[in-house]
Amino acid sequence: MQKYMSEFIGTFILLVSIVGSGIAGQQYTNDQMVILVSHAVVIGLTLIFIIGIFANFSGAHFNPIVSILFFLQKS
């Protein structure tokens, strides 16, 4: 259960950072290149952060489809 809970929490954190960085980028500038670069940096740093925290508890997939497939295969 700890494995699936850490995947859920990690996926939630990743989703919040993706949506939040997109909203924040559009509020601060109209330059699309700045928005894309800042969005990519935020997502990359978030992935480094959550993989560092949750890698020991789960496989650090942070992709619901991968987690569902591993659950169905009983891995």
SS3 44: helix
Closest by CA to 3, choosing from 57, 55, 52, is: 57
Phi, psi values for residue 54, rounded to 5°: -100, 0
Please report whether residue 25 resides in a domain. yes
Please report whether residue 12 resides in a domain. no
Please report whether residue 3 resides in a domain. no
Could you tell me if 70 and 61 are in contact, meaning their C-beta atoms sit under 8 angstroms apart? Answer: yes
Alpha helices in the chain (DSSP H): 2-28, 32-54, 64-72
Which structural domain, as residue segments, surrounds residue 50? 18-72
Please report whether residue 1 resides in a domain. no
Count of domains in the chain? 1
Q: How far apart are CA 48 and CA 57, in angstroms?
A: 15
pLDDT at residue 15 tops 80: yes
- Tens of pLDDT, residues 29-59: 888 898 899 899 999 999 999 999 988 887 7
Residue 12 pLDDT class (50, 70, 90 cuts):
very high
